[in-house]
Amino acid sequence: MHFFRQARAWRVIATLATAILSTPLAAQALSPLDPEMWEEPYQPPPPLPEGLQGTVRRDPNATDVERIDQIAQVFQAIQACWRAPSGSGYSGQEITLRLSFKRSGEVLGRPRITYYNAGTQPEQREPFTRAVREALTRCTPLPFTESFGRAIAGRIFSFRFVDAQPM
């Protein structure tokens, strides 16, 4: 008889536990054995792009940018300053520069060449690279707005100067 009382007591406890755990309050404190409560392992947020990239091509209709407050305007301003060497005419040359700007619009440090394609016309190689250097000298400091300068100071920009037939 004692056995039946114990079994009945366990059934009552099990019934009460089920009733208590089915309430909304209990749902907040489920056991860690519940697979729905397992936490995902820490996943760091995806990284930001390594840098901002843009292509600068010969464009006789490019206009100067008076104040820069958008990323696209940075590339437009450099394109307006770049004057491809006269007579180059689609030599196939390419040069990619990586650089950062100070909040004042000046170039931070020295630009770094990350890619160079010499193209098909050897006599145009030196004038092409000189034209790229002159564009940065002529353009900088860029006319950043104060808030834009603070936002992009130190961010890496990649400028790909291309003297090739547009696709």
Q: How confident is the model at residue 167 (pLDDT cuts 50, 70, 90)?
A: very low
47 preceded by cis ω (within 30°)?
no
d(CA 8, CA 119): 91
Rg (CA), the chain: 32
Mean pLDDT of 28-50: 57
Q: What percent of the chain has pLDDT over 70?
A: 65
Q: Of 162, 160, 157, 128, which Cα lies nearest the Cα of 140?
A: 157
Which DSSP state fits 68? B
Q: What is the pLDDT of residues 121-140, one digit of tens each?
A: 777 778 888 888 888 888 88
pLDDT at 85: 75
Q: What is the pLDDT of residues 63-88, one digit of tens each?
A: 888 899 998 899 999 988 888 777 65
d(CA 75, CA 100): 13
Residues 6+ apart with CB under 8 A from 144: 67, 68, 69, 101, 103, 104, 105, 152
Tokens coding 117: 């394609």
